[in-house]
A and B are shown apart, each in its own frame.
Chain A
Amino acid sequence: MNAGIPLQYFLILATIMFFVGVYGFLTRRNLITILMSVELILNSVNINFLAFNRYLFPHKLEGFFFSLFVIAVAASEAAVAIAIIINIYRRFTTINVEDVNMMKF
């Protein structure tokens, strides 16, 4: 299925996706969009793991299971983060990171 595509193409694609996520993380000010940038970063790392597993170690399963666990961790992280975001919205009526500068009332 992956004949004719060198490993480097996958790695470059994942690099671009990772740094686009970092750019969003640095410039965004809304908490939910920051969370979306983190999802982009995690997703690019998953592509890296799977490409390495398929091209360099096709007789093992480490990359496959690592990306499976990354997906599970990302799901639980998103659930907890959104719970926190909704709690912040309830207290401050905004989720802009520059307006939320108080740890506890």
Chain B
Amino acid sequence: MTTNQLMFVLFAAMIVVFSILTVTSHKILRAAVYLLFVLVSTAGLYFMLNYQFLAAVQLTLYAGGIVVLIIFSILLTSHINQKFEPVGWKKSLFSALAVITGAFLSIITILDYKFSATTEAAKEVDMRLIGKSLLSVGNDGYVLPFEVISVLLLAAMVAAIVIAKKGAPKKSESQTLNQ
């Protein structure tokens, strides 16, 4: 077993174990920390696939941003020692049955299919190439999705502020209090 395979087995085991713990843990804060472990090991897999930029994005945006957001909202909405009541056996049994059937069928299909790789030379994905592709309109250009995603991010920011801010009645109450 080479070092590569050893690292892959390590990351894969971490991902499988911690994702199962994420969906079965009875303490919500622990579930969030297990999710953090899953995301960090996924970044390790991206490093193994030689996509360093995407691994860095994964670490900063997912592990750094989204997990912190989730932990903040957990602290805002539930007590820190709160435990979930266990899931009913009927629900968990049928969900597990459906999930295992689906996973079984998918894995059989994957093992059955013959993937054919190209013989063309691999491209080195460096920052210069990423920047040029994101802003060019030609054959390898991705300027349209880039612009769409910028509009989406702006819309999400405005929507998050509008939804989460306090409603109008509270404001008039505070104004009457000030008067």
Contact = CB atoms under 8 A, between A and B. Distances in A.
Given A61-B125, A71-B62, A3 B87 contact: no
Contacts of B42: 43, 46-47
B102 A89 contact: no
Interface class of chain A by DSSP: helix
B28 A32 contact: yes
A26 interface: yes
Interface class of chain B by DSSP: helix
Nearest to B140: A61
B171 interface: no
Interface string A1-38: 11111011111110111011111101111101101110
Interface string B90-123: 0110011011101100110011000111101111
Given A26-B95, A29-B84, A78-B69, A60 B123 contact: yes
Nearest to A17: B19
Interface of A: 1-5, 7-13, 15-17, 19-24, 26-30, 32-33, 35-37, 39-40, 43, 46-47, 50-51, 54-61, 64-65, 67-69, 71-80, 82-87, 89, 95
Interface of B: 2, 4-5, 8, 12, 15-16, 19-20, 22-24, 28, 31-32, 35, 38-39, 42, 45-51, 54, 57-58, 61-62, 65-66, 69-70, 73-74, 76-78, 84, 87, 91-92, 95-96, 98-100, 102-103, 106-107, 110-111, 115-118, 120-123, 125, 129-130, 133-134, 140, 142, 145, 149, 152-153, 155-157, 159-161, 163-164
